[in-house]
C-alpha cells in the first residue's frame, strides 16, 4: 500500500517525522514524501530531514513565494502531475497551509482517497488563510484525524456525520513527536546559540501575517516585547524571514535578542531552557505545554482552546498593556501540567492503522 505525503512548512516536518517513523515500522506500507518547498530557508526546511530522520523527499517541488493563489495554483499543478505518476492508494496532508489545500485538491480531483492529519481545528476567523485551508480540506477528506475532542465536536456541529467521511479521535501527532525527540537534543548534546547565554529568558516567535502585515499591530507588539526584555527578563527570538523583512520595511529595530531560525532540536533546547513562551504560532502553543512552559499567545484567537480553558495559555492579541499584564501574571503563577489534553502519544500508530483498515 502506497501513501503519498505532502508537506511544506516547519510544523508539518515535525508531524511527518512521527508518522513517517510509524510507516517505516509497519510492514506492507510504502511512503512517498513530497516537499512542496513552501519553507525554503535551509534552517527551516532541509535541517529537519537531517535532524529528525525523516526520509529524504522523493520530490522537492521548490515552490515558494508569490501570493496565496499563485503559490497554491503552482503547487496544485505540480502535485497533480506527481500523483498521476505515483498512483498512490492514499494522499496524506497535514494542518492548514497552502501545501495542505493544494495536496487535498489535487488528490480529490484525481479521485484518490484523502487523509487529513489535524482535522477539525477552527479559529472561527475567516480572515485567516489557514482557516479557509483547514475548512476546505476537511470538507473533501475521506479520513479526518482529530487531535482533540474539541476538534471532533467542531466537525459534528458542521454535520460531518452526514458526509461520506470517517472522523477519528487519534490524539496529537505533535505530542508523539515531542516524546520521540524530546530527549534526542540532550543525547546529541545540542547547544543553545551562544547569544542566548545563561540568563533566565522568554522565547519569542512571531510570523503570522495578521501581525507582520499590519505596521501598527507589529509596532505595538515590538514595544511590549522590548519592555519585557528591558524590565522583566531577556527575550530571545529565532526570527522568521518574513518578520525580518517586515521589520526592515517598517524601520523597526528590535530591542531584544534576535537569532537566526533554528532546527527543531535547537528549538526543543530553547523550549526546555526558557521560562516563558511568547508566540503567534499554533504549534508552539502546544509545544510549550508539552515541555511544561506557560504560554502567552500574540493572537486574537486560537485553535487550541483546551490550553486556554486549563490556564496553560493566554490570548493577548497585540495590546501592549495586555501583553505586559499577562506576562507579569504568567511568571508569578505556577501551573500543574499533569492534565493529558492531547492523547497518549500513540496518534501516529492510530493514523496508520486507520489508513490500513480503510483500504
Full strand arrangement of the beta sheet holding 313-315: 257-259, 234-238, 201-205, 276-279, 295-297, 313-315
Cell numbers placing 190: 545540542
Please check whether residue 224 is in contact with residue 316, taking contact to mean a CB–CB distance below 8 angstroms.
Answer: no
d(CA 8, CA 24): 20
Q: Which residues contact 335 (CB under 8 A, 6 or more apart)?
A: 292, 294, 311, 312
Phi and psi at 237, nearest 5°, equal -130, 110
Using CA atoms, how far apart are residues 96 and 236, in angstroms rounded to an integer?
27
**Strand (E) positions, 139-233?**
143-146, 166-169, 201-205
Eight-state DSSP code of residue 317: T
CB atoms within 10 A of CB 41: 14
Rounded to whole angstroms, the Cα distance separating 98 from 152 reads 23
Cite the active site residues: 207
Contact 347, 177 (CB under 8 A): no
Q: What angle in degrees, to the nearest 10, is found between the helix axes of 10-24 and 282-290?
A: 60
Q: Are 9 and 71 in contact (CB under 8 A)?
A: no
CA distance 144 to 169: 8
d(CA 39, CA 235) in angstroms, rounded, equals 25
Amino acid at each position: 500500500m502506497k501513501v503519498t505525503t505532502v508537506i511544506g512548512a516547519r510544523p508539518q516536518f515535525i508531524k511527518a517525522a512521527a508518522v513517517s517513523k510509524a510507516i517505516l515500522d509497519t510492514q506492507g506500507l510504502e511512503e512517498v514524501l513530497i516537499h512542496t518547498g513552501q519553507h525554503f530557508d535551509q534552517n527551516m526546511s532541509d535541517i529537519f530531514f537531517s535532524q529528525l530522520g525523516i526520509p529524504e523527499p522523493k520530490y522537492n517541488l521548490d515552490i515558494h513565494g508569490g501570493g496565496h493563489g499563485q503559490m497554491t495554483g503552482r503547487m496544485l499543478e505540480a502535485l497533480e502531475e506527481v500523483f498521476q505518476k505515483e498512483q498512490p492508494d492514499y494522499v496524506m496532508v497535514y494542518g492548514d497551509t497552502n501545501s495542505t489545500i493544494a495536496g487535498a485538491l489535487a488528490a480529490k480531483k484525481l479521485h484518490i482517497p484523502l487523509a487529513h492529519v489535524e482535522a477539525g481545528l477552527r479559529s472561527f476567523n475567516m480572515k485567516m488563510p489557514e482557516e479557509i485551508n483547514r475548512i476546505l480540506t476537511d470538507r473533501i477528506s475521506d479520513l479526518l484525524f482529530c487531535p482533540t475532542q474539541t476538534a471532533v465536536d467542531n466537525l459534528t456541529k458542521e454535520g460531518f456525520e452526514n458526509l461520506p467521511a470517517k472522523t477519528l479521535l487519534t490524539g496529537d501527532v505533535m505530542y508523539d513527536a515531542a516524546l520521540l525527540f524530546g530527549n534526542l537534543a540532550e543525547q546529541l548534546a545540542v547547544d543553545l546559540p551562544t547569544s542566548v547565554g545563561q540568563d533566565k529568558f522568554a522565547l519569542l516567535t512571531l510570523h503570522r501575517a495578521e501581525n507582520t502585515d499590519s505596521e501598527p499591530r507589529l509596532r505595538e507588539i515590538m514595544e511590549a516585547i522590548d519592555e519585557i526584555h528591558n524590565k522583566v527578563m531577556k527575550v530571545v527570538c529565532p526570527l522568521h524571514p518574513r518578520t525580518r523583512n517586515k521589520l526592515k520595511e517598517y524601520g523597526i529595530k528590535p530591542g531584544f535578542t534576535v537569532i537566526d531560525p533554528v532546527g527543531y532540536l535547537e528549538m526543543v533546547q530553547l523550549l526546555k531552557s526558557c521560562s516563558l513562551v511568547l508566540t503567534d504560532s499554533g504549534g508552539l502553543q502546544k509545544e510549550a505545554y508539552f515541555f511544561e512552559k506557560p504560554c502567552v499567545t500574540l493572537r486574537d484567537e486560537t485553535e487550541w482552546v483546551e490550553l486556554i480553558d486549563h490556564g496553560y495559555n493566554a490570548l493577548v492579541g497585540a495590546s501592549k498593556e495586555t501583553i505586559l499584564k499577562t506576562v507579569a501574571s504568567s511568571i508569578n503563577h505556577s501551573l500543574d501540567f499533569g492534565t493529558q489534553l492531547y492523547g497518549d502519544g500513540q496518534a501516529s500508530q492510530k493514523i496508520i492503522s486507520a489508513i490500513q483498515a480503510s483500504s
